[in-house]
Every structure is written in structure tokens, then in C-alpha cells.
Amino acid sequence: MEWVRFLAGGALLLFGLVVSCIATIGVYKFKFVLNRMHAAAMNDTLGILFVLLGLIILNGWNFTSLKMVVIICFFWMASPVASHVIARLEITTDKEKVKEECEVAEDVDF
């Protein structure tokens, strides 16, 4: 039974690491600020969620695991709010850049 818990925790840690690596690549690859913020927010929500869930499984249920659950709840509440505030600030301070990026996005044929 111990090895099942180890494999599940390791798989979640590995998946969280993969999500974090993809989000980091996205932050450096995208040119527009709002796209970069989306990639960074995915790391905050999904990457940290899976890493902490993996640690909870590996650690077992105790007070430290409860603290990690509280950290997950904090990130899931704070990260979208902070991203929204920063996005609104970007849109209000650089309207011409946002309009230019939206026009470029409309011209793209999928």
C-alpha cells in the first residue's frame, strides 16, 4: 500500500513540474502581456495545486497536510484576483497597445 501512495504522490509531483515548465516557457514565448499573465496564472493554479497535492499524499494526513490545503485555498482565491487587477491595470494604462494586439488577433485565420 505504501508504494501506491508513493507512486500517486510522485505522479502528481511530476505532473505539477511539467505544468510549471510549460507555464514558464509560455511566459517567455508570448509577446503580449495578457498572454504572459495567463501562462503565469496557470502555473499558480495548476502547477502549485498538483505539487502540493503530491506532497500531501506523500506526507500523509497530519497538521502539515492541513497547512498545505490552506495554501492551496489561498492560491486559488488570491491568484485570479491578482491577475484580474494586473490585467485591468494593463488595459487602462496602455489602450493603444491592447487595441493593436486585438486587431492582430482578429486578422489571424484559424
pLDDT in tens, 36-52: 888 888 888 898 999 99
What mean pLDDT value characterizes the chain?
A: 85
Say what the pTM is. 0.76
Instruction: State the average pLDDT over residues 16-37.
Output: 88
Contact 20, 43 (CB under 8 A): yes
How does residue 110 score in pLDDT terms, banded at 50, 70 and 90?
very low
Report the alpha-carbon distance of residue 11 to residue 78 in Å, rounded: 26
For the chain, what percentages of helix, strand and coil (3-state, to nearest 5) are there?
A: 90, 0, 10
How does residue 105 score in pLDDT terms, banded at 50, 70 and 90?
low
